[in-house]
Amino acid sequence: MNDRSKLPPRIPVPPPATCRNRRRRGRTIGLLGGSFNPAHAGHRHISLWALRRLGLDEVWWLVSPQNPLKPVAGMAPFAKRLKDAAAMARHPRIRVSGLEAALGTTHTAETLKRLRRRRPRDRFVWLMGADNLAQVDQWRDWQQIFDTTAVAVFARPSYCLRALAGKAARRFAKARLPERAGRLLPRHGLPAWVFLGGPLNPLSATAIRAARGPRRSGRAGTSKRKTGAGATAKG
C-alpha cells in the first residue's frame, strides 16, 4: 500500500487568524498524538479536516517516543518517525513536534497538564480517531483528559458504532456537542467533545507496516520500556 495515497477531495482550509489577534487571545491548537509509525495521508487528512471544522489556528503532531500501549518490536527509531512525519505533514499550519520526548512524558493526561502550564494563553483540542475513543478508557487518567481538554473525535471506517457505544462516550454523553457546533468547541466550557463525520480515510499505520513487510517496518528497540495505560495511542 502506498502511504501517500490520494486523499479524499481537497478540504478547503480557512486562513489563520492575524498575528495581532493571536497575540491578544492566544491560539487554538489541535493536538494529534501517536507513534506515527509511520505518518501517513490519513493523519494529514484528519489535520486538515480539524483546521476547517474546528476553526483551529494550528495542528501539532505529537510524535510519541514510545507508546506504553504498543510493543517496542517493530517501532521505527524516534528520529526517523519525526523526519518522516515532517515530510508527510507538508502544510504551514501543521507542526511536527517531539514535545513528549522534551517533557519526558508518555501519558496523554500528563502531557496535556504540562503543556497547559507552559502555554496558559493557548487553547488546546485533543484530536483522535473513533478507534481511540472506543478504547480511551484504558488510558491512564482518561477522564482527566475530558475534564480538562476539549476533545474532537473523527469518524473512521468500522469503528463509529463501537466508539459511540463505548464507556467514554457514555460517561461524557451530556458533554457532547452537535457536529454543527464544532467551531464552538475550542472555547466551550469543559468537559466538551464533538464527533465529526465527513470523508473517511481508511489508511492505518498497521496496514502500511504490514504491506511494507518486516524489513521496512523499522528496527526494534534495544531496550524494554515499562508498559501502562494512557499513551497517545493513535498512529
The predicted model gives 218-225 an average pLDDT of 40
| CA–CA dist 203, 65 (Å, integer) | 22
Q: Where are the domains of the chain?
A: 31-212
3-state secondary structure the chain: CCCCCCCCCCCCCCCCCCHHHHHHHCCEEEEEEECCCCCCHHHHHHHHHHHHHHCCCEEEEEECCCCCCCCCCCCCCHHHHHHHHHHHHCCCCEEEECHHHHHCCCCHHHHHHHHHHHCCCCEEEEEEEHHHHCCHHHCCCHHHHHHHCEEEEECCCCCHHHHHCCHHHHHCHHHEECHHHHHHHHHCCCCCEEEECCCCCCCCHHHHHHHHCCCCCCCCCCCCCCCCCCCCCCC
- Tell me the Ramachandran region of residue 227: left when phi exceeds 0, alpha when psi lies from -120 to 50, beta otherwise: beta
| CA–CA dist 127, 155 (Å, integer) | 11
- Is the omega angle on the peptide bond into residue 38 within 30 degrees of 0, that is, cis? yes
pLDDT band at residue 163 using 50, 70 and 90 as cut-offs: very high
Contact 98, 81 (CB under 8 A): no
Q: pLDDT tens across 75-101, in order?
A: 999 999 999 999 999 999 999 999 999
- What percent of the chain has pLDDT above 90? 66
pLDDT band at residue 227 using 50, 70 and 90 as cut-offs: very low
Mean pLDDT check: name the lowest of 71-75, 82-86, 147-151.
Answer: 71-75
What pLDDT, on the 0 to 100 scale, is given for residue 92? Answer: 96
What pLDDT, on the 0 to 100 scale, is given for residue 55? Answer: 97
pLDDT band at residue 17 using 50, 70 and 90 as cut-offs: low
pLDDT band at residue 62 using 50, 70 and 90 as cut-offs: very high
Cell of 46: 484528519
* Sign of the four-CA dihedral 56, 178, 193, 123: positive
Q: pLDDT tens across 187-216, in order?
A: 999 999 999 997 665 555 455 545 666 554
Mean pLDDT check: name the lowest of 56-65, 122-131, 191-200.
Answer: 191-200
What pLDDT, on the 0 to 100 scale, is given for residue 22? Answer: 53
Q: In whole angstroms, what separates CA 200 from the centre of its chain?
A: 16
How do beta strands 150-154 and 193-196 pair? Answer: parallel
Mean pLDDT check: name the lowest of 16-30, 65-79, 195-209, 214-228.
Answer: 214-228
Q: pLDDT tens across 32-49, in order?
A: 999 999 999 999 999 999
What pLDDT, on the 0 to 100 scale, is given for residue 210? Answer: 55
Beginning with the edge strand found earlier in the chain, give each strand of the sheet holding 150-154 in spatial order: 94-97, 58-63, 28-34, 123-129, 150-154, 193-196, 176-177
Write the CA distances from 222 to 72, 209, 219, integer angstroms: 8, 19, 9
Backbone φ, ψ for residue 29 (5° rounding): -125, 125
The predicted model gives 8-19 an average pLDDT of 50
Q: Which CATH code is given to the segment(s) 31-212?
A: 3.40.50.620
| pLDDT at residue 23 greater than cutoff 60 | no
What pLDDT, on the 0 to 100 scale, is given for residue 230? Answer: 44
The predicted model gives 111-117 an average pLDDT of 97
